[in-house]
Amino acid sequence: MNRIYLFVGAAAWLALCGCTLLKPQPAGDVLERVEPDLGGEYFLYKPTNYNESRRWPLLVLCHASPWQSPKSVIADWATVAEEKGLLLLAPKLRSTGAWPTKMPKQLAVQEDDEEATLKALQHVRAGYRVARDKVFIAGKNSGCRAAMFIGLRNPDDFRLVALLQPRFDALRMAATLDFLDPYQRIMVLVGMGDLAEDQADACLQWLRQQNMTVVEDHTAARTEKHAERVYRFVRNSVTKHPWIRVKAFGTESPMRVRFRALTSFKEEVYRYEWDFGDGGTGVIARPEHDFAQPGEYTISLRIHPDKKTSHERKIRITVPASYNVADSE
């Protein structure tokens, strides 16, 4: 009898730690990689049907520490990734510990994880066909801290952020405030009966205070079902909510700014309507505009993908400013 208790206890402990021995082995390839610029370690899941004939959606997974490893998180998501056709990227993180450290040390660790994740993403993009408009980031429990920090600070890279039973600390998110994009969609999955449900509520309240686009979901389902719920959120968002990014670039003239609209529309856009905030307008996808006076301007773009529908996006810029001169997108 003691052996039975010992076995059950060991199995429960291994499950809690995210041991891949107790999970179905992925059908595709789980590749261990090192990004060359910073030497950051990450795991990549490549489905068995991966090929170069199309561009693939990619999901970045932020593991919780110390109970999970990047490889274990890959195992949690591999079944859905195999069935739905997703690449998975799980970087090795240091900022997702259960117990917050003091600022500014914590901020420095978060920024290190951010840089390492973006470098890993760049490395994967160099070797695989990744869809520019279908890159997402997700985390569970304390892994949500990294997913929020990285995802909210880089809305040009991450179309969606999914937070599963989040552990939340507003101080850790203060450095995201200057980067927030209200058009970025955020999923918050609240686990019914989760001992830290109050943190999920605090996370929701904070996001709404920042006027972010939040999709709240509640579930009592087992942990292994969470990936399927996130995929449904991703599929619904991609299908019903177009990806539109407005970018500003510098030119040789400090008062002239080049603009570009990046979109997920497969067909040619019917009409562009730019308002440069100083009375000037434009009607092409990549206009340039000369501002007469320095200052802050709200740039508005209304895109008509067809004759019946339209979508508006706004950004604020400062003129003159040190924008990137090269439009390499």
Distance CA 105, CA 120 (A): 23
Counting every residue written for the chain, the total comes to 329
Distance CA 72, CA 78 (A): 10
Distance, first Cα to last Cα, the chain: 64
Q: Is the separation of the CB atoms in 20 and 75 below 8 Å? A: yes
CATH code that applies to domain 244-319: 2.60.40.10
pLDDT, position 7: 43
Whole-prediction pTM? 0.87
Domain boundaries, the chain: 23-240, 244-319
Q: Is the separation of the CB atoms in 227 and 80 below 8 Å? A: yes
pLDDT, position 6: 43
Distance CA 130, CA 235 (A): 16
Element (H, E) at 217: strand 213-219
What is residue 197's three-state secondary structure?
A: helix
User: Higher confidence at residue 266 or residue 294?
Assistant: 294
State which CATH number among 3.40.50.2020, 3.40.630.30, 3.40.50.970, 3.40.50.1820 fits the domain covering 23-240.
Answer: 3.40.50.1820
Residues 11-57 pLDDT 10s: 444 444 444 445 667 889 999 999 999 999 999 999 999 999 999 99
Residues 127-163 pLDDT 10s: 999 999 999 999 999 999 999 999 999 999 999 999 9
Element (H, E) at 171: helix 170-173
